[in-house]
Amino acid sequence: MTIQNHILIGLGDIMTLRLTCPSCHSVIGSPPEKWQNIPLDCPNCHAEWMRGGSPQYESIRVFCRTLAEMRSHEKNIRCEIQLELSASGRCV
Ligand SMILES: [Zn+2]
C-alpha cells in the first residue's frame, strides 16, 4: 500500500533558502530577504555552481526577490498563500 502525504506551508514558514554543494556537501543558507548576492561558487571548496547572469542564476535571484516581496505584501492579501509539498511514504 502506498500512502501519499502532503505538507502545507505558509510563506512565513520558509526560514532559509539552502544551497548544498554537490562536491563537498557543505550547506549555506539564509532567509530569502538576505540573498542579495547569490554565491556563484562554493565558499568551502570553490566548485563552480553557476555563472553570474546565467538563466539559472537569474531564476534563483528572481525567486528570492519574489518570495521576499510576497511575504512583505502577505498581510494585504485577503487569502492565505500556501505551498503544498509532497511527503510520500511507503507503508509495508
Ligand atoms: Zn563545496
Alpha carbon of 23 to ligand 1 centroid (Å): 5
What 8-state DSSP symbol labels residue 15? -
Enclosing domain of residue 56: 2-90
Residue 33 pLDDT class (50, 70, 90 cuts): confident
Q: Which residues contact 70 (CB under 8 A, 6 or more apart)?
A: 11, 81
Asked if pLDDT for residue 74 goes beyond 70, the answer is yes
Q: Which residue from 41, 38, 45 is spatially nearest to 23, judged by alpha carbons?
A: 45
- How many structural domains does the chain have? 1
In the prediction, which pLDDT does 39 show? 92
**How many angstroms separate the CA atoms of 43 and 87, rounded?**
31
Q: What is the pLDDT of residue 92?
A: 47
Residues at Cβ < 5 Å from ligand 1 ion: 21, 23-24, 42, 44-45, 47
pTM: 0.76
The whole-number pLDDT of residue 34 equals: 87
Query: Can you tell me whether residue 13 is helix, strand or coil?
Result: helix
20 C-alpha vs ligand 1 centroid, how far in Å? Answer: 8
pLDDT band at 37 (very low <50, low <70, confident <90, very high): confident
| DSSP β-bridge partners for residue 19 | 28
Which of 33-37, 53-57, 68-72 has the lowest average pLDDT?
33-37
Cα 19 to averaged position of ligand 1 atoms, centre (Å): 10
For cell 563537498, the residue is: 24
